[in-house]
């Protein structure tokens, strides 16, 4: 079963929630919707589910128009960020509920419940009630209920956001494994770039109700179409520096100059925004033409195995991502090295002029 949206608009109380959405999702595909809070992810999923009707445009399943068909008549499951289960039913009956509703015979129900519980590692809790379980187990139960019936579309609306990061790690890789062997369309909404990359599949970037870019997740990450895409798909945020190209030189801010050579030589004179990913800046130079920058440490954020340095200078601020644990005092002086060949170049309208990844493939 394929699912397509054609020119879908949604206007609620005069506010544009979705604008000109065109998407085509294939059976067996894993589709991530990445965007900030209120970007339109939930609105879009509700259209797919049939919980809401678009103001204009069409929703098609296998080419047939289902725009006006309600959720009960579409073969769809949904998992929400809150752990939603029937508190008065055991885990077993929670998982069985969609099958019972579909009048599946008892032997088949039993078989499917056990299979699904096994897959999500909640078999030992089948006779417990949801509220007696941990958050992770409750969400596994909700996921099992969504997965037990053969839904053709399964929608996940930030399902892991209320779990701690170790559980997220586990459930994320389990989900990815599960969908390898299913022929359903999975749609997964998240605000976190790293989650989109970890899930793989296709990523669609949503911003203010519009689709900014769609493609294989790692490719969208490496070749963002514009500044918004680069910014949405970067955690920590991509560094953006305003600069000028003039007389065979690049000027960042006012005082940082470097020659316009090698990878940047095709840039014409004028203003640009230069982007550099936090992980591409280092504490030691790796290339002869790396740009040395003297900065001040505002904060060293340490994630356990990585360090994020928030740096400032009179010209611009930078975030640097380092592997390993590096402690710095606030306001310490530091030199960092920015590799010129890893710069993204955007014009003043924010469109991509040059991506470092494209150069590698050239």
Nearer to another protein by Cβ, of 85 and 203: the residue is: 203
| CA quadruple 212, 271, 240, 336: dihedral sign | positive
Interface with another protein, residue 298, by CB under 8 A: yes
Please select the residue that binds another protein; options are 6, 81, 200, 334, rule is CB under 8 A. Answer: 200
Which residues in the 250-289 window bind another protein by CB under 8 A? 277-279, 283-284
- In angstroms, give the least distance from the CB of 165 to another protein: 7
Three-state DSSP state, 8:
strand
* Residue selected from 326, 337, 350, 353 as contacting another protein according to rule CB under 8 A: 326
- Torsion over CA: 144, 149, 155, 157 (sign): negative
Q: Does 324 bind another protein (CB under 8 A)?
A: yes
Q: Among residues 182, 210, 257, 341, which is the contact residue for another protein, using CB under 8 A?
A: 341
Residue 193 binding another protein, by CB under 8 A = yes
Phi and psi angles of residue 141, each rounded to the nearest 5 degrees, phi first: -65, -45
Q: Does 194 bind another protein (CB under 8 A)?
A: yes
Cis peptide before 236, with omega less than 30 degrees from 0?
yes
Q: Choose, by CB under 8 A, the member of 169, 289, 292, 351 that binds another protein.
A: 169
- How many chain residues touch another protein (CB under 8 A)? 42
Q: Cα 222 from chain centroid? A: 14
Q: Is 121 exposed, middle or buried (0-12, 13-18, 19+ CB in 10 A)?
A: middle
Query: Phi, psi at residue 293, to the nearest 5°?
Result: -125, 130
Number of Cβ within 10 Å of residue 293's Cβ equals 19
Q: 292, 301, 348, 351: which one contacts another protein (CB under 8 A)? A: 301
Task: Give the residue among 75, 52, 56 at the shortest CA–CA distance from 2.
Answer: 75
With vertex at residue 46, the alpha carbon angle to CA 45 and CA 52, rounded to the nearest 5 degrees, is 150
Report the residue from 65, 108, 164, 351 that binds another protein according to the rule CB under 8 A.
164
Nearer to another protein, 194 or 269 (CB): 194
| CB of 145 or CB of 277, closer to another protein | 277
Q: What are phi and psi of 305, to 5 degrees?
A: -120, 0
Binding site for another protein (CB under 8 A): 134-135, 164-166, 169, 191, 193-194, 197-198, 200, 218, 221-222, 277-279, 283-284, 298-305, 308, 310, 321-327, 329-330, 341, 359-360
């Amino acid at each position: 079963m394929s699912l397509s949206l054609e020119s879908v608009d949604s206007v609620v109380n005069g506010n544009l929630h979705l604008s000109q959405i065109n998407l085509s999702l294939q059976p067996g595909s894993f589709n991530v919707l990445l965007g900030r809070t209120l970007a339109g992810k939930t609105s879009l999923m509700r259209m797919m589910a049939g919980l809401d009707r678009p103001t204009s445009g069409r929703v098609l399943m296998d080419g047939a128009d289902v725009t006006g068909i309600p959720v009960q008549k579409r073969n769809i499951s949904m998992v929400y960020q809150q752990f939603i289960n029937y508190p008065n039913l055991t885990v077993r009956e929670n998982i069985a509920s969609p099958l019972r509703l579909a009048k599946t015979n008892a032997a088949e129900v039993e078989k499917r419940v056990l299979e699904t519980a096994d897959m999500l590692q909640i078999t030992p809790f089948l006779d417990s009630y949801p509220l007696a379980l941990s958050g992770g187990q409750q969400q596994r139960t909700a996921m099992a209920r969504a997965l037990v019936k053969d839904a053709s579309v399964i929608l996940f609306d930030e399902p892991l956001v209320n779990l701690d990061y170790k559980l997220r790690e586990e459930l994320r890789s389990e989900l990815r494994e599960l969908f390898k062997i299913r022929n359903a369309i999975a749609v997964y909404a998240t605000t976190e770039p790293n989650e989109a990359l970890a899930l793989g599949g296709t990523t669609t970037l949503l911003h203010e109700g519009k689709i900014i870019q769609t493609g294989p997740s790692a490719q969208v990450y490496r070749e963002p179409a514009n500044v918004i895409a680069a910014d949405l798909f970067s955690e920590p945020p991509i560094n953006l520096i305003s600069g000028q190209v003039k007389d065979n030189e690049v000027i960042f801010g006012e005082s940082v100059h470097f020659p316009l050579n090698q990878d940047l030589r095709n840039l014409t004179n004028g203003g640009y925004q230069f982007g550099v990913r936090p992980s591409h800046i280092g504490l030691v130079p790796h290339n002869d033409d790396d740009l040395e920058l003297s900065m001040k440490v505002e904060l060293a954020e340490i994630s356990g195995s990585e360090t994020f340095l928030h740096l400032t200078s009179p010209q611009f601020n930078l975030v640097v991502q380092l592997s390993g644990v590096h402690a710095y005092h606030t306001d310490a002086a530091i030199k960092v090295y920015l590799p010129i060949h890893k710069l993204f170049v955007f014009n003043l309208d924010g469109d991509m002029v040059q991506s470092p990844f494209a150069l590698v493939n050239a």
